[in-house]
Structure 1
Amino acid sequence: MCDPDRGCLGFETIWNANALPPISNGLHSGDAAALMCGGATVWTVLSRYGIQPRDRVGVLGIGGMGYLAIKMAAAMGYHVVAFSGSESKKADCLAFETKEYYMTSGESMEGLTTLIDF
């Protein structure tokens, strides 16, 4: 059993196979489970709270789930705003269709530096 509202897809769950994408031969099942868990978490937020295409959606922290959030939000037509403590993530965010990118200190959102603003 699983409870997607509480988040437990990283360990195990049973789903109808027709509702899931196939796992590539080169991808370990444990890695696929982590992607499904992170993807389900991001999907829940993006689809459940009345966000409309062209609405601004902020992604704080550009890493595993942050990249998933950016890609999904952009694919859903949202105006994606990324917040990162590293300028090295800028190119990736641009490639994933981020519309705004802000540098943060990691401790505060004050004094953000705009790197991209369309």
Structure 2
Amino acid sequence: MSDPDRGCLGFKTIWNANALIPIPEGLHSGDAAALMCGGATVWTVLSRYGMQPGDRVGVLGIGGMGHLAIKMAAAMGYHVVAFSGSGSKKADCLAFGAKEYYLTNGESMEDMEPLKHLLLCGSSSEDYTL
């Protein structure tokens, strides 16, 4: 048995069925697990802090959590603006629902409209000039 408050190495546990969400057919449990970490983190921010459909929401850091943030924010009706240090992520960001994409390493953002919210999804502690 596992300790549901502190551990993740158990092979079985007992939970109240009302607190569980079944994994849909066709979704691998490994993929579903990621949704309960990065997905829950992103969902909490997007759903609890007064964001409204149409708000300009920036997503800085386009890794696993950033990808989820773009998809969820776009699905919730926010105007998503993606920021990354790599131009190679632009196509993915736009396909996931971002309306705008900016490079953080040199691209001018002087003409960019202000953001209402900014989600910092990267692990770097660089000093960005947004």
The 8 Å contact of residues 84 and 103 in structure 2, kept in 1 or not, is answered as yes
Unaligned runs of 5+ in 1: 3-7, 113-118
Percent of pairs with identical residues: 71
Distance in 2, matches of 1:109 and 1:70, equals 20
After superposition, the C-alpha distances for 1:1-59 in whole angstroms (9 at most, x for unaligned) are 56xxxxx8xx48956467524155672x4443222111110000000000000001110
Match of 2:67 in 1: 67
TM-score norm. by structure 1 comes to: 0.71
Alpha-carbon separation, structure 2, partners of 1:40 and 1:21: 15
How far the C-alpha of 1:101 sits from its partner, in A, is: 0.7
RMSD: 2.9
**Do the aligned partners of 2:23 and 2:32 also contact (CA within 8 Å) in 1?**
no
How many residue pairs get aligned? The number is 104
1:102-117 matched pairs, under 5 angstroms: 102-105=102-105, 107-110=126-129
Residue pair 1:23, 1:32 contacting (<8 A) in 2 also: no
Residues 61-89 of structure 1: per-residue CA shift (max 9 Å, x gap): 00100000000000000000101000000
Segments of structure 2 that go 5 or more residues without pairing to the other structure are 106-123
Q: 1:21 to 1:98 in 2, by over 3 A?
A: farther
Residue type of the alignment partner of 2:74: A
Give the corresponding residue for 1:87.
Answer: 87
SS at match of 2:89: helix
* CA distance 1:92–1:50, change in 2 (3 Å): same
Greater relative contact order (CA < 8 Å, ≥ 6 in sequence): 2
User: Secondary structure of the residue that 2:81 maps to in structure 1?
Assistant: strand
Task: State which structure, 1 or 2, has the greater radius of gyration over its C-alpha atoms.
Answer: 2
